[in-house]
Amino acid sequence: MEDTPDHANWRQWFDHYGPRLLLCARQWTRSLADAEDVVQEAFVRFWKHQRELEGEPLALLLTSVRRSACDLARRETRRVAREQHAIEGDADLFQPLPEGDDRRREIEAALHRLPPEQREVLVLKIWGELTFEQIAGQLEISANTAASRYRYALAALRKELTVPVP
The whole-model pTM stands at 0.47
The pLDDT score that the predictor gives to residue 151 is 93
61 with 52: CB under 8 angstroms?
A: no
Q: Which CATH number fits domain 90-161: 3.30.300.30, 1.10.10.10, 3.40.50.720, 3.40.50.300?
A: 1.10.10.10
> What's the CATH architecture for 7-78?
Orthogonal Bundle (1.10)
Name the residue ranges covered by the structural domains of the chain.
7-78, 90-161
The pLDDT score that the predictor gives to residue 7 is 52
Residue stretches of the chain with pLDDT short of 70: 1-8, 50-55, 86-101, 163-166
The pLDDT score that the predictor gives to residue 39 is 92
**Dist. CA 41–CA 66, nearest whole Å:** 11
The pLDDT score that the predictor gives to residue 34 is 92
- Of 64, 84, 67, the residue nearest 131 (C-alpha): 84
Task: Write the pLDDT tens digit of every residue in 88-114.
Answer: 655 555 555 555 567 777 877 888 899
The pLDDT score that the predictor gives to residue 165 is 43
| Cα angle 5, 49, 73; round to 5 | 105
**Dist. CA 124–CA 17, nearest whole Å:** 41
**Dist. CA 34–CA 124, nearest whole Å:** 23
Contacts for 107-112: CB closer than 8 Å, 24+ residues apart: 107/157, 107/161, 110/156, 110/157, 110/160, 110/161, 111/157
The pLDDT score that the predictor gives to residue 166 is 44
